[in-house]
């Protein structure tokens, strides 16, 4: 299995270091940033499969970041992670396009399962897009060949 490219976005630096270490030990590629603006800048620089996004951060909160991601980086799946927010906040995030949510303290294996599911959904969406593009090219070619 190809490593999943994961970006962890949380203002708690010790938490992000530990989570990135565990994700890397599990065979994935993990990086961390500590605020919403840095997250958006990082996504502009390179693609990630899955984001682990804290809801409560200084500056842009997680829901604001999620809204921007779903506008500019639609193929990136987002898992909201919160230790302070309520379940209602996390559900609101899912309505705005998050793949899922987890509450701190989290079970690492459960979080890893969510990350794998999110990657699978992303891959399936990308395959459907490729097939749709191929169908579109064939349709255009058929129209061109008829005349």
Whole-prediction pTM:
0.89
pLDDT score recorded for residue 147: 63
Do residues 81 and 104 lie in contact, with contact meaning Cβ atoms separated by under 8 Å?
yes
* In contact, 114 and 99? CB cutoff 8 Å: yes
- Tell me which of 106 and 108 has the higher pLDDT: 108
Q: Is the confidence at residue 125, as pLDDT, over 80?
A: yes
**Per-residue b or e along 2-39, where b marks 16 or more CB atoms closer than 10 Å to that residue's CB:** eebbbbbbbeeeebbeebbeebeebebebbbbbbbebb
Out of 34-38, 92-96, 117-121, pick the least confident: 92-96
Cα–Cα distance measured from residue 118 to residue 137, given in angstroms and rounded to the nearest whole number? 29
pLDDT given at position 85: 60
- Section 128-147 average pLDDT: 88
Please name the residue ranges forming H helices in 26-103. 36-45, 62-72, 87-95
Domain ranges (residues) in the chain: 5-145
- Per CATH, the number for 5-145 is 3.40.50.2300
Is the confidence at residue 84, as pLDDT, over 80?
no
59 Rama class: left (phi>0) / alpha (psi -120 to 50) / beta: left
Q: Which residues pair with 1 in a beta bridge?
A: none
């Amino acid at each position: 299995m190809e490593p999943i490219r994961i970006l962890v976005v949380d203002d708690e630096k010790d938490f992000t270091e530990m989570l990135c270490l565990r994700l890397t030990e599990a065979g994935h590629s993990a990086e961390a940033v500590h605020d919403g603006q840095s997250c958006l800048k990082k996504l502009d620089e390179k693609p990630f499969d899955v984001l682990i996004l804290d809801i409560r951060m200084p500056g842009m909160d997680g829901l604001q970041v999620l809204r921007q991601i779903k506008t500019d980086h639609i193929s990136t799946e987002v898992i909201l992670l919160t230790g302070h927010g309520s379940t209602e906040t996390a559900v609101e995030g899912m309505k705005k396009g998050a793949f899922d949510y987890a509450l701190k303290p989290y079970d690492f294996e459960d979080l890893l399962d969510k990350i794998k599911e999110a990657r699978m959904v992303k891959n399936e969406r990308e395959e459907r897009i490729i097939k749709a593009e191929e169908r579109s090219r064939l349709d255009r070619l058929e129209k061109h060949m008829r005349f």
